[in-house]
Amino acid sequence: MRQLRSLWVGWLPGVLAALGLLGFAVMLFVVLLRSAGTLSLSSLDPQTLHVVKFTLYQALLSTILSVGLGLLLAWALAHQPRFRGRSLLIALFSSSLVLPTLVVVFGLIGIYGRNGWINQLLFWVSGDDLGSYLYGLFGILLAHVYLNASFASRAFLHAFESIPQEKHKLAKSLGFGVWQRFWIVEWPSLKQTVWSSAATIFLLCFTSFAIVLILGGSPKYNTIEVAIYEAVKLDFDLPMALKLALIQLALTSVLVLLSSSFRSPITNLKKSTAHIIWQESRGIIWLQRGLILLFTLFFVTPLLSIVAEGVDAGLWQIVQRPIFRQALMTSLAVAILSALLTLLLVLVLSAAKRNFDMPTRLGRSPWARLWSLLITLSGNLYLAIPTLVMGLGFFLLALHSALPRTLWAWIAILTANVLMSLPFAMAVIYPQMMKISQRYDKLSFSLGLGRRERFFAVELPYLRGVMAYVFALAFCLSLGDLGIIALFGNESFMTLPWYLYGLMGSYQSRDAAGVALVMLLLSVAVFVWVPKLFGGRDVTHR
């Protein structure tokens, strides 16, 4: 009991952090509500109603396409387990989560834009092209599918690989066909992951900003976030921005509550490296290979476009510009600070949640489930409070404050980046902490290890790898974010995404290609090398 009481060191910081985050959400809501004053939300004008409908419509279409294509790709990869470059390809698909959105958009324009590779190829072959077909709903869906289908395929592939081999052996002995095998054997294991991924993707597409801002093309294709940005930056119509922000906040809160029932399992580990050989028909084999090849081309060609155009852009001249160096140093400072704060916050939140979830710790106390739920909600605030809504709250505070606007910009962008990274960080750190406790708690307690000794001797060797991964993930997400900076960005406070957006808006394609290449190389380098540099042990290894 003395050891259990000493665990307050583990849960108290996390509880205080969770209460602080939830308090911040309440404060933000109060700021928006007080600023709205007598603003009426009972009736929506046709323009606002159209924006809300289109936001929901494009998010639904993007989710259906992303989940469908991701499931097809995962099915093909799961049944083609041996071909050269497979592990590299899967790792490449995993990196889609950290690719800067603006860089992806630039790459898609390089392939599908008016002067993109496809139009150039068609003009060379037939003397005609497809014209400007990228901007509008098609471009929005294309970019969302590019980012989310690969993310979904990685999660679905884990679910395919977690199916026990005994089920495959039984299905093979019963002579199941392709459809019977999928529906009877594979779908029950995939179902929870599919619904969970679909809910996450819908929320990400619902709150999408940079993609719609650039590829929307006209007010007809505005989402709520883009409409908030235009109301503040272009029209300075704060009542309209507040109305849209409150609508966005209400809708995302409802969506988060509805999606909370779609939870994927804590562990989704590959059960066995053995593979059951199926006698597939030649048509099915070619279909699987064709799906892999087509999606690989779809995913790789925009990145190749960025590299090709960036190398030809004269990087040395771009790097020498003071404005580029200022944007680079600001982005690095923001990304490093955001990653460190995210890592610190996720460790204390995960440690506290673990204490309330573990029966060997405080899991049997009457209030354990309530505190665990509050910590979970605090770690997923970003899904309920979109970046532009958060940015509007900070913008309103800055208008009525004597503090310098640049200071508010730093506070706003760090807060937004940390909250954006937290849901992904919790999904990585918390399961690992639970596995460590399940395996070593009784031994640690029997040896009388203090919290410091237990952390450094037992937990850190296993957490080091995932901590490095979380740092790299938060760094890359913060490096490429265009949300808060779109409201606070100016010549004295500029990041690489804001600089790139300005170059694209002024049609300086050559310079934009160089900046996009720098952002791409920096993101990939950090995401690949930081986890390898600090890699730790595998807690499942025996």
Give the DSSP letter string of 209-228: -HHHHHH--SGGG--HHHHH
Residue 85 is assigned to a structural domain of this protein: no
d(CA 174, CA 168): 10
* Residue 268 in this model has a pLDDT that exceeds 60: no
**For residue 484, what are its two tokens?**
């808060």
Asked whether the beta carbons of 207 and 386 are under 8 A apart, the reply is yes
Q: In this predicted model, which residue has the larger pLDDT, 475 or 483? A: 475
* Residue 443 in this model has a pLDDT that exceeds 60: yes
Give the DSSP letter string of 44-69: --HHHHHHHHHHHHHHHHHHHHHHHH
Residue 501 is assigned to a structural domain of this protein: yes
d(CA 292, CA 276): 20
Q: Please give the pLDDT value at position 254.
A: 82
Q: In this predicted model, which residue has the larger pLDDT, 359 or 49? A: 49
Mean local confidence (pLDDT), 265-286:
60
Q: What is the CATH number of the domain that holds 478?
A: 1.10.3720.10
Q: Please give the pLDDT value at position 336.
A: 95
Render pLDDT for 301-337 as a digit per residue (tens, 0 to 9). Answer: 999 999 998 888 777 888 889 999 999 999 999 999 9
d(CA 288, CA 167): 21
d(CA 370, CA 360): 18
Mean local confidence (pLDDT), 56-66:
95
Report the phi/psi class of residue 321: left, alpha or beta, with left for phi > 0 and alpha for psi in -120 to 50.
beta
Q: Give the residue among 372, 498, 385 at the shortest CA–CA distance from 433.
A: 372
Residue 333 is assigned to a structural domain of this protein: yes
d(CA 109, CA 178): 38
Mean local confidence (pLDDT), 470-496:
87
Residue 34 is assigned to a structural domain of this protein: yes
- C-alpha atoms less than 13 angstroms from C-alpha of 333 in its C-beta half-sphere: 12
User: Which of the given ranges, 59-73, 234-248, 428-442, 448-462, has the highest pLDDT on average?
Assistant: 59-73
Mean local confidence (pLDDT), 423-440:
82
Residue 12 is assigned to a structural domain of this protein: yes
Render pLDDT for 173-199 as a digit per residue (tens, 0 to 9). Answer: 777 877 888 888 888 888 888 888 888
Q: Which of 195-209, 250-264, 363-377, 455-469 has the lowest mean pLDDT?
A: 250-264
How far CA 301 is from CA of 246, 297, 497, 522, in Å, comes to 39, 6, 21, 19
Mean pLDDT, rounded, of the chain? 83
Residue 467 is assigned to a structural domain of this protein: yes
Q: Please give the pLDDT value at position 265.
A: 44
Q: Torsion angle, CA of 335/418/198/498, rounded to 10 degrees?
A: -40
Render pLDDT for 217-240 as a digit per residue (tens, 0 to 9). Answer: 788 899 998 998 888 888 878 888
Total domains present in the chain: 1
Confidence of residue 150 (pLDDT cuts 50, 70, 90): confident
* Residue 542 in this model has a pLDDT that exceeds 60: no
What is the residue range of 388's domain? 1-38+312-542
d(CA 139, CA 112): 9
Residue 92 is assigned to a structural domain of this protein: no
Residue 59 is assigned to a structural domain of this protein: no
Predicted structure pTM score: 0.85
